[in-house]
Every structure is written in structure tokens, then in C-alpha cells.
Amino acid sequence: MGTLTGAPEPTSAQGRSVRRRVPPMVHAVRLLILGVGVGAIAGTFLSIFNPASQSTADISQMTLQGSIANPAKGESPPMLSRLLPGGSHSATLQRSQELGALRSTLQSLLTQNPHLTAGISLVDLDTGAYVDLNATTSLPAASTIKVPVLVAFLQAVDAGTLRLDEMLTMEAADVAEGSGEMQYQAVGTQYSALETAEMMITISDNTATNMLIRRLGGAVVLNQRFQSWGMRQTVLNNPLADLDGTNTTSSQDLTNLLMVISQGELLSLRSRDRLMEIMQGTVADSLIPAGVGDQRAVIAHKTGTLDHMVGDTGIVDMPNGKRFIVTVLVQRPIDDESAPELIRQVCTTVYQYLGQSAVLTPTPQ
């Protein structure tokens, strides 16, 4: 019986099937296809049993989730180091050239305040132009340490290991003096993870911060995470409120972290937008916002204040379309008001300098 579809097989006059001679070229093609198939199967087998064959994309994803890169093993360096002059070109934006005139003006402000120890780091997000003054100096972090804690929190959300609506229970060890409202609530009170993170930033709640640090694995785990991002001076040594200022960071660490976040790295775009929204809700507005002095500017920032330290770090979106990141940390004599005034002066100077021109003029062809 013939096939239901297709042409009937050719037959001889005696009714026997006729076998067509297959050309040598067809044999060659068949052998080639067979070889490719065998090679694909072998490659799949090797990739399963050889972890070293992981793709670069897999390793990059591990870095985004906070693993510590090891250059000795050929792994990528921490991503924040790529933003420095001469760093890897894999980042979307790097520091390009230093703004010499602006640097001179800011240096004069520091010279006028020799009793203060200040670190300044700023980057124009349109061009990568920057100014770093004592930017790698390790200084007390105060509540600016809450920014990397927030990033680690949102990474956990992205990884699915923590839900925004997960209920966190305040324990006695979490309760901290200083800023915040949770300290006045009963031990055992529960808050959603998102509410806890928002209170950590917007009203700088120290108890909320300790709850998140505990939930994220503790200071040792977070310090490893910070190091994996390239934050060399950022270390959690004690729970908040840390009135002695043992927790440290640098202005460059914080600026680089925000620079990476603004470019869509480290966090998903949804979590990046959530971070910006939370930081825009910061209630304290006497430093960067006061220095900018322009209600039209959109500012996502986080302050930090101790008796002997004051600082602010944030992203400023100007009405002319330019965006910049600025971090100013100042160590001071106890409650010296010239420190917050210096931060305001720095921010005023930067805002006026970058506001002199609109978004970059196209280069003539």
C-alpha cells in the first residue's frame, strides 16, 4: 500500500523498488550535521560537570547579587572600581575628567575651614566629569551608612529571599536611641519590611536600621557585601545609633554606589526606582536641599548627623535636565555649626556651576 502523502516510491517494470544512488556530497553533508550534533551534546555534558565553564554573564549576575570577586582567579573587579579614571570600560559611565575650576573653588572653601575634616565627591551624570577632594578618606558614616543597607535590602527583594510585605518583629536588641519613632514602641511590635526600610531612610530610624541589619544576616555579611561592591572604606562595626562614630565610609564610596545605582546596576530597575522614591522622601532638608535652594530640583538623598560629624549624599535632578551626585562628609568639633554650613556652601557652588549651561551642546560635525 502507498503512503498517504508525498510522491509514490519509483518502481521497476518488475515491481521492485529502485534504490537511488546517493551522491558523495550528500554523504558529506550528513556527516557534517552528525558531527555538529555530537559536538553540541558533548558541550552540554561538559558544562554540566565543569563549573569553571560558567559564562561571563553568569559570573556578572553573581557579582550583582553580592559575591566577592577574586582577581587572582580571573574574576571581574568590584564594579564600583570600574567607575574610577582608568577603570574597566564595561560600566555605562565612568569618571572622565576632573572639573579643575570647580575643584579650586571647593578647595578654597575647605581652606577657609581648617578646623574641619571634609571629604567631597561629586560626579556629573551627563559627562562623567567629577571632583574628588579627600574623597577616599575614611570618616564616621553616621546615618549615611543606611544607604548601602537599603541597597542590600532591595537586592534581597530582587533575589526573592525577602518580601516587601514580610513582617519583621522588633526585638529588644534592635531598640536604639537617637533618631526615629520605633524606639518608643513595645518590643514585639511588627512592621512590614518595606515600612521598616522607608522609616530607616525617611526619618532615619535607628531601630528600623538594626532590624534590617539583623534580617539581612548581620554586620559581617553586610560588610562582605559592601566590599564586593568596591566600598573599601564602608564598614559596619556597631549597631545604630553608633554615637561614637565607629561605622565608617568615604564620600567616594557613597558617590560611586549611587552612580552605579543610577545606571541600573546592582538593582533591578524596579528596585532602583523604589530606592529613589524612598530617598526622595527624606524629611531632613537642611543640607543638600538647602544648599541647592531650588524647589524645582528633585533630590534623592540621605543625611547623617552625630555630635562630631555631619554629612549628606544624594542625586540631584536639575530643572535644566542635568543630573549630578554629590557627597559631603564633615568631621567637626562637637556641634560646630560651620560643618553643615560648609555642606550647604559646597552644594550651592556645585549647583550654580553645573546650572550655568544646559544639557550638553552637540559637538559640531
CATH of the domain at 285: 3.40.710.10
Work out the average pLDDT over 316-340: 98
| pLDDT of 117 over the 80 cut | yes
Is 54 inside a domain boundary? no
Is 194 inside a domain boundary? yes
The sheet with strand 130-133 has its strands ordered as 130-133, 117-124, 323-331, 309-317, 298-306
* Domain enclosing residue 292, as ranges: 100-354
Structural element, H or E, at residue 357: none
Q: Is residue 34 very low, low, confident or very high in pLDDT (cuts 50, 70, 90)?
A: low
User: Helix H segments across the chain?
Assistant: 24-49, 56-64, 100-111, 146-159, 193-202, 206-215, 219-228, 251-262, 269-280, 288-292, 338-354
Is 163 inside a domain boundary? yes
| pLDDT of 355 over the 80 cut | yes
Q: In total, how many domains does the chain have? A: 1
Nearest C-alpha neighbor of 198 from the set 253, 149, 258:
149
Provide the pLDDT for residue 45: 45
Provide the pLDDT for residue 93: 76
Reported residue count of the chain is 365
| Portion of the chain with pLDDT greater than 90, in percent | 71
Dihedrals φ, ψ of 317, to 5°?
-105, 110
Is 261 inside a domain boundary? yes
User: How many Å apart are CA 340 and CA 305, to the nearest integer?
Assistant: 9
Which comes out higher in pLDDT, residue 41 or 110?
110
Is 152 inside a domain boundary? yes
User: How many Å apart are CA 234 and CA 138, to the nearest integer?
Assistant: 8
- Cell representation of residue 60: 556578572
Is 253 inside a domain boundary? yes
Provide the pLDDT for residue 19: 42
Provide the pLDDT for residue 324: 98
Dihedrals φ, ψ of 3, to 5°?
-70, 155
Provide the pLDDT for residue 94: 86
Is 322 inside a domain boundary? yes
User: How many Å apart are CA 126 and CA 129, to the nearest integer?
Assistant: 8
Work out the average pLDDT over 81-107: 74
Q: Mean pLDDT score of the chain, rounded to an integer?
A: 83
Is 93 inside a domain boundary? no
- The residue whose grid cell reads 565608617 is 248
The dihedral formed by the CA atoms of 284, 108, 318 and 277, expressed in degrees to the nearest 10: -30
Rg of the chain over all Cα atoms, to the nearest angstrom: 29
Q: Is residue 161 very low, low, confident or very high in pLDDT (cuts 50, 70, 90)?
A: very high
